[in-house]
Structure 1
Amino acid sequence: MDHPVSPSAHDDRITVREAVFRLLRDLGMTSIFGNPGSTELPMFKDFPEDFDYVLALQECVVVGMADGYAQATHNAAFVNLHSAAGVGHAMGNIFTAHKNGTPLVITAGQQARSLQPFDPFLGSNQATELPKPYVKWSVEPARAEDVPLAIARAYYIAMMPPCGPVLVSVPSDDWDVLTTPVEARRVSRQLRPDADLLQDIGAALDAAVAPAIVVGAAVDRDGAWNEAVAFAERHQARVYVAPMSGRCSFPEDHPLWGGFLPAMRERIVERLGGHDVVFALGAPAFTYHVEGAGPHLPAHARLVQLTDDPQVAARAPVGTSVVGSIRQGLRDLLARPAPAERKPPAPRVRAPRQPVPDAEVRLPVDWVLQTLNDLRPRDSIIVEEAPSARPRIHEHLPIYASETFYTMCSGGLGFGLPAALGVAMGKPDKRVIALIGDGSTMYAVQALWTAAQRKLPMTLLILKNQRYAALHEFARIFGYKPGEAVPGTALPDIDFVGLAAAQGVDGVSVATAGAFEDALARALVSSGPMLIEIDIA
């Protein structure tokens, strides 16, 4: 009797390249952010028509754009870098993505496996060690056949809270090797907070006389904006923003809004004075920038914390910490019986409006920000990297809605301008406004070329004070005398309109109130990128 012949177990094999593109398509990652080198070229042979290669002219721009895009789309972005040199160029923004909690799947080219024993040109000798400790996981698969599985695993790790970047090093001769397809899987990304500890948090807030909530970036990242507002209103709690937060997590025109905490221990204690329970919500307790001493909280105040990051919970100096989904934790807290009614705190005193400056003076940044707030659409998105202006931004440029503000949690420059491009690509129905200092702009000015090539309808505002002004503020902390020179901080003679024009972006320089108002009105409705260089005091 004849038996049917079984099909070969290898009949369904495809190349590593085909398997990876099939997987990326299933995972919704059809935009590839990169700047290619020789070791990456084999990946892009027969590039699929439904994929988009987003070219940037330097690797820090590549990663910054991908970071903004991933935050805007709520999905990991796919990045392709060139071996050790490209990863090295990108490390500043990989560090920022790590601090931002942004999911990125980073692939880096590697020399062919047959060449690696000979320390080849453009080889990465310790490819998996190079990006550490600022990636959640890094690997160079032992076999070419394992590359698709490694990228799948990298994606799931990147998307697990707390999200972050991962790296897969891929030798250049792996892409044509035959392998089996890898199917995308459904993997849960939610961790429900411990119910008993949540009850402790709820009871502490119920019993508080004057509770405070300190919100961090994780609230907005987890889509918990509405729950945070409802919870603050239930407890009539004053709401502050944690130091160095990269997202806005509470409406800044709300009566319970309390402002921004500084990154200094003593001043945090001072600002939180009078509160008996402090709830760190999606935020560290606390991020400091300068040395301090003494307690971390006002006398007799209790700290409770809900965070999606076990490391943040572990390093809190005092109090009770619960790890899990911010949104689910707040929903569980809101499901408890409502506490007794509490008198709301007095509304925060708002900064006074600034008068129109005289024509002969350089534009005050307070007035520039106030005017931007007056003219911009309420739901427009601000992407900011202007460290010296940040305190004034806090006073004169309030954020009203979820997912309408992005900055870096790291303090590393070079993120803001490319991230604005990524956000504009990820949210094409919104007006994106990049608000960048002149020093910050020069870290990633090549991003203007990509903005022009893609005709992104963006407004690019360069606050030009001709120096690294933030360093002048810190100079006083480190003992510099008033008026004493701070070496290496002057930035004269940079023509941002010329730099923009050379890369295909329309621009204008303004130095008077009328000129700024006219230029801003045009830039807010531009069909492509428009840059305004603002000569500020």
Structure 2
Amino acid sequence: MTRKNAGATTTTVRGAVIELLRSLGMTTVFGNPGSTELPFLDRWPADFRYVFGLQEAAVVGMADGHARATGNAAFVNLHSAAGVGHALGNVFTAYRNRAPLVITAGQLARALLPNLPFLGASEAASFPRPYVKYSIEPARAEDVPAAIAHAYHVAMRRPRGPTFVSIPADDWAAPCRPVPARAVSQDVAPDPALIADAARAVAAAKRPVLVVGPEVDEEGAGEAMVALAERIAAPVLAGPFSARLSFPEDHPLFAGFLAAAPQAVSDALLPHDLVLVVGAPVFTFHVGGDAAIFRSGIPILHLTTDEEAAASAPAGTSILGSLRLALPALAAALPEAAGRTPPPPRPRPAPPSPAHPIPAAYLLHRLHAALPEDATLVEEAPSHRPAIQAQMPMRRWGSFLTMASGGLGYALPAAVGVALARPGRRVLCLIGDGSMMYSPQALWTAVQHRLPLTVVVINNAGYGALRSFSRVLQVRDAPGIDLPGLDFVSLARGMGCPGVRVTRAEELDAALAEAFRAEGPALVDVVVDPAIPTLYERA
């Protein structure tokens, strides 16, 4: 209800927040409610969509996928204290993914807070730190709408990420003034002098190489990235553990993927006389080793929107600023690539052969053949990533998402969020059997919304990454690696999702075709050979 008071328009906190969300284009709300959220949910507006998830980590993962697919912040409504605790794994992942989220959580009434009430959070704003960009429990009820507006703009500023607002339950009915939506610039131009210096260095190099990361796709700067690479006429490598498509993987200049190991990165880059890193850290590592590239004296130029990535780079010159602005500026400052011969296209692997048990590479080869042209792949099968990269080359900007954190439990709910953001377009969730057990509740939400979601479980009966690292670290007989007795088809059917189990290569094509034809979600559990390459071997 809105009313006039002494010449000024007033409303309730709830009314002001609803109008603010409407004006910011956040009319889809992801939530798992409790008693402290009911005042917000009262008389739910007809033009808002409430996406109900059965567990808070799944809810945050859905919102993350939706935000990354739409480019706008997603609004999340969690339950107080323990509910936020359940969500924190995927809050960390959203932070690493640079996914813009405005996360709110209920809190007990203000009058109860001094006496440590049941369900109350005595340090609500501290709970999700440091993996949110902004966190607050407003001092007064009337400050809540402005705090949410603040959280939105911080979430959307690059590098994007999650924010958090704790809201006592009795604040929603308090009177306040509306908070109008404002325009706040999201992009900052790079230093022109540094761009000019970079152009001179690139032009002088005889054997440059480009290392490209997820910020390019995140900013919608893909075409500018391709134009720059073609102007330089240099090979392009995807940065380690890139969480989005970095460069079209069928482009003649694409030279493959860097592994997250210092020795492997150095071996790939040392033959070059200049390294241009665009939209990726310098560099993401997962194992130890000698990073000789940092002692080589080879110039490293770094274009990024991420202040922390720029500050933490151990070598080179980092140029902060929007890639949407930096890439065309650098291309315009470059002369034609006279005399520089483009590298030969990289060889493609031969198609894998069927066998029993099914090789994971064969599954991925057939899956790529069956995948609809406009589909989005959301992946969480890290131990199979070299085989995925070899057998499923991605070509379209926006067509691939995975988690940047390494934390499990992201892909299935994120795929639900992507499907909600892209109505009518097929989404493929490619997920390991271990990963599948972290947020299986998201299947229920997919069923309720009849989403065109195909879930393919790569079932090797264990944690493949641990098997791989056990070989690397020469660890034997470690517990907690094997996962016997899981029935994913029964799990899916119990939530209303049809499923089929595939154990023979000759059954695979028909099962995949049927799952992609399904009007709603469908699951295919594929039992594969448990033997996988070491994580940093190429498939």
Shorter chain as denominator, the TM-score bin is: over 0.9
**Equivalent residue number for residue 126 of structure 1:** 123
**Equivalent residue number for residue 343 of structure 1:** 341
The answer to whether the 8 A contact 1:272-1:298 is kept is no
Q: Quick one: which of 480, 485, 490 aligns to 1:493?
A: 485
> Aligned letter for 2:337?
A
**Equivalent residue number for residue 253 of structure 1:** 250
Question: For 1:378, what is the secondary structure of its paired residue?
Answer: coil
Question: For 1:168, what is the secondary structure of its paired residue?
Answer: strand
1:452 lines up with 2:450 in the alignment: no
1:513 lines up with 2:505 in the alignment: yes
> Aligned letter for 2:112?
L
Distance 2:253 2:137 in 1: 50
Structure 1 residue 435 displacement after superposition: 0.2
1:49 lines up with 2:46 in the alignment: yes
- Structure 1 stretches lacking a partner, 5+ long: 1-6
1:215 lines up with 2:247 in the alignment: no
The answer to whether the 8 A contact 1:84-1:123 is kept is yes
**Equivalent residue number for residue 179 of structure 1:** 176
The 5 Å alignment of 1:516-527 reads 516-527=508-519
Question: For 1:87, what is the secondary structure of its paired residue?
Answer: helix
Distance 1:234 1:91 in 2: 43
Distance 2:364 2:334 in 1: 42
Question: For 2:153, what is the secondary structure of its paired residue?
Answer: helix
Please list the CA deviations of residues 235-266 of structure 1 after superposition, one character each: whole Å capped at 9, or x if unmatched: 11111111111001211011111111111111
Structure 1 residue 205 displacement after superposition: 1.1
Q: Quick one: which of 62, 66, 75 aligns to 2:63?
A: 66
**Equivalent residue number for residue 279 of structure 1:** 276
Normalising by structure 1, we get a TM-score of: 0.96
The answer to whether the 8 A contact 2:294-2:314 is kept is no
Which shifted more, 55-64 or 337-346? 337-346
Question: For 1:130, what is the secondary structure of its paired residue?
Answer: coil
The answer to whether the 8 A contact 1:269-1:298 is kept is no
Please list the CA deviations of residues 438-489 of structure 1 after superposition, one character each: whole Å capped at 9, or x if unmatched: 0000000111110111100111100000000110111123232xxx323111
Structure 1 residue 413 displacement after superposition: 0.2
Structure 1 residue 10 displacement after superposition: 6.0
Question: For 2:9, what is the secondary structure of its paired residue?
Answer: coil
Question: For 1:311, what is the secondary structure of its paired residue?
Answer: helix
Distance 1:340 1:532 in 2: 48
Distance 1:228 1:146 in 2: 42
Distance 2:404 2:473 in 1: 23
Question: For 1:247, what is the secondary structure of its paired residue?
Answer: coil
Distance 1:437 1:458 in 2: 16
Distance 1:29 1:8 in 2: 28
> Aligned letter for 2:201?
A
**Equivalent residue number for residue 224 of structure 2:** 227
Structure 1 residues 151, 419: closer, same or farther in 2, change over 3 A? same
The 5 Å alignment of 1:354-373 reads 354-357=352-355, 361-373=356-368
> Aligned letter for 1:13?
T
The answer to whether the 8 A contact 2:57-2:439 is kept is yes
Q: Quick one: which of 510, 529, 535 aligns to 2:527?
A: 535
1:417 lines up with 2:417 in the alignment: no
The answer to whether the 8 A contact 2:207-2:272 is kept is yes
**Equivalent residue number for residue 462 of structure 1:** 457
The answer to whether the 8 A contact 1:32-1:53 is kept is yes
1:107 lines up with 2:131 in the alignment: no
> Aligned letter for 2:256?
G
Structure 1 residue 11 displacement after superposition: 5.1
Distance 2:296 2:351 in 1: 36
1:15 lines up with 2:12 in the alignment: yes
Please list the CA deviations of residues 387-408 of structure 1 after superposition, one character each: whole Å capped at 9, or x if unmatched: 1111100111100110000000
Which 4+ runs in 1 deviate beyond 6 A?
Answer: none
Which shifted more, 424-433 or 138-147? 424-433
The answer to whether the 8 A contact 1:378-1:400 is kept is no
Q: Quick one: which of 421, 424, 443 aligns to 2:438?
A: 443
The answer to whether the 8 A contact 2:76-2:102 is kept is yes
Q: Quick one: which of 377, 396, 402 aligns to 2:397?
A: 402
The answer to whether the 8 A contact 2:233-2:337 is kept is no
The answer to whether the 8 A contact 1:256-1:345 is kept is yes
Please list the CA deviations of residues 165-187 of structure 1 after superposition, one character each: whole Å capped at 9, or x if unmatched: 00000000000000000110111
Distance 1:66 1:441 in 2: 18
Distance 1:70 1:340 in 2: 38
Question: For 1:48, what is the secondary structure of its paired residue?
Answer: coil
Structure 1 residue 301 displacement after superposition: 1.7
Which shifted more, 217-226 or 329-338? 329-338
**Equivalent residue number for residue 383 of structure 2:** 388
Structure 1 residue 84 displacement after superposition: 1.0
Structure 1 residue 338 displacement after superposition: 2.7
The answer to whether the 8 A contact 2:364-2:392 is kept is yes
**Equivalent residue number for residue 316 of structure 2:** 319
Question: For 2:302, what is the secondary structure of its paired residue?
Answer: strand
Please list the CA deviations of residues 207-233 of structure 1 after superposition, one character each: whole Å capped at 9, or x if unmatched: 111111111111100001111111111
The answer to whether the 8 A contact 2:67-2:101 is kept is yes
Which shifted more, 162-171 or 333-342? 333-342
Which shifted more, 330-339 or 190-199? 330-339
**Equivalent residue number for residue 3 of structure 1:** none
Distance 1:492 1:263 in 2: 30
Number of corresponding residues? 525
Distance 1:52 1:260 in 2: 39
Residue identity over aligned pairs, in percent, reads: 51
Structure 1 residues 337, 282: closer, same or farther in 2, change over 3 A? closer
> Aligned letter for 1:362?
P
Structure 1 residue 337 displacement after superposition: 4.4
Distance 2:246 2:465 in 1: 25
Distance 1:273 1:295 in 2: 8
The answer to whether the 8 A contact 1:161-1:308 is kept is yes
Structure 1 residue 339 displacement after superposition: 2.9
Structure 1 residues 337, 208: closer, same or farther in 2, change over 3 A? closer
Question: For 2:292, what is the secondary structure of its paired residue?
Answer: coil
Distance 2:478 2:344 in 1: 42
Structure 1 residue 333 displacement after superposition: 1.1
Which shifted more, 327-336 or 113-122? 327-336
Distance 1:8 1:493 in 2: 65
1:239 lines up with 2:231 in the alignment: no
Q: Quick one: which of 141, 145, 148 aligns to 2:142?
A: 145
- Structure 2 stretches lacking a partner, 5+ long: 530-539
**Equivalent residue number for residue 158 of structure 2:** 161
The answer to whether the 8 A contact 1:242-1:261 is kept is yes
1:302 lines up with 2:302 in the alignment: no
Q: Quick one: which of 188, 194, 217 aligns to 1:197?
A: 194
Distance 1:16 1:10 in 2: 19
Structure 1 residues 8, 508: closer, same or farther in 2, change over 3 A? closer
Distance 1:378 1:207 in 2: 40
